[in-house]
Structure 1
Amino acid sequence: MSKKSAAINIGIPEGKREKIAEGLSHLLADSYTLYLMTHNFHWNVTGPMFNTLHLMFMGQYTEQWNALDLIAERIRALGFPAPGTYKEFVKLASVKEVEGVPKALDMIRHLVAAQEATARTARDLFPLVDEANDQPTADLLTQRLDVHEKTAWMLRSLLED
């Protein structure tokens, strides 16, 4: 990452800020890929659970869309550019795009996996954030973990008999 801002003295050394920003860039990429997957499934879901899933996916992608800005702005507050292209997101994301239009239950399975992957990406950043005494990023990560873990649970519940 290249630094393009004035000197920053917030009590976190530049090297640690850079590593946190890199981790947040991975979280942003996973979050964007999850957002796009959820919106795609909202548009294309069919079957007996159409209305339920269509509305559920809309709530999820709306929440995810709003979170993107929070993550990107934290990267900027740390003094680094936020990734913002599909090319960068593909390179940084652990969540992979789904090709074609899966059946409704497969959409749910894909979303569970993507929610869990995004949660893991957030969780992996905690040791560095804790070491840097970076409470704003820790707070952001905690909020994101809560959302991803709860959403994964709700989606998994749809797969149970």
Structure 2
Amino acid sequence: MAQPLEVVTESKSISSGVRDASAVAEGLGQVLADTYRLTFKTHAFHWNVEGPLFFSIHNLTEGQYEDMFAAADELAERMRALGQKAPMSMADIVSNSVIEDSDTAPSAGEMCDLLAEDHQRIAHRLHALIKIAGEQNDPVTEDLATARSAFHEKAAWMLRALTTG
């Protein structure tokens, strides 16, 4: 009678030299939560914008929410690459985000101002993440956060440019 084979399972963890992956993932989770909430807010403003700036804001916000939706996936996948879990509930997203919903229907100009402020908030959070990632020897997250910060800073500028006169 043949002896059963012993199954040896190897660790599937990847050691890339990141010192404290959980600290980096926490920062990524906050930025992911902000990105997800701002994606929805931008999409809602896209649907509801009215007035002479309709076409400009409608088109600009479409490009922005599409970019942020893709970025949310990239941020979550980076968390997973670090061996951490991505958020599993909207409650996690809401509790980890500094982005707030609008209780009223703002004017087109107010929409631009609100979104610009939110993009700026996320850029600040990304600057903090860049610092954390650097301290934890994680150049991949540093690069990701730098690129995302550049997007949010440009988005804030473009939104403000629409209403500055």
- Scaled by the length of structure 1, the TM-score of the pair is 0.92
Match of 1:55 in 2: 59
Aligned length: 155
Q: Do residues 80 (structure 1) and 114 (structure 2) align?
A: no
> Among 11, 14, 20, which residue is 2:17 paired with?
11
Q: CA deviation at 1:156?
A: 1.1
Residue of 89, 97, 108 corresponding to 1:93: 97
Query: Is the aligned partner of 1:105 residue 2:123?
Result: no
List per-residue Cα deviations over 1:6-34 (Å, max 9, x = no partner): 53422123xx1000000000000000111
1:129-148 equivalence runs, <5 A: 129-148=133-152
Deviates more, 1:74-83 or 1:91-100: 91-100
Question: Any idea what the Cα deviations from partners look like across 1:22-79, whole Å, max 9, x if unmatched?
Answer: 0000000000111011000000111111111111111111111111111000000000
Rg larger in structure: 2
- 2:131 corresponds to which of 116, 127, 131: 127
RMSD: 1.3
- Structure-2 residue corresponding to 1:38: 42
Q: Helix, strand or coil for the counterpart of 1:125?
A: helix
Opposite residue 78 of structure 1, the aligned amino acid is L
Amino acid at match of 1:7: S
2:65 aligned partner, one-letter code: Y
What secondary structure is seen at the aligned counterpart in 2 of 1:126? helix
Query: What do the CA deviations read for 1:80-114 (whole angstroms, capped 9, x no partner)?
Result: 11014221111000111112321111101110111
Structure 1 segments of 4 or more deviating over 3 A?
5-8
- The equivalent residue for 1:159 is 163
Identity %: 39
* Structure 1 alignment gaps of length 5 or more: none
Give the unaligned 5+ runs of structure 2: 1-10
1:130-157 Cα deviation digits (max 9, x unpaired): 1122111011001101100011111111
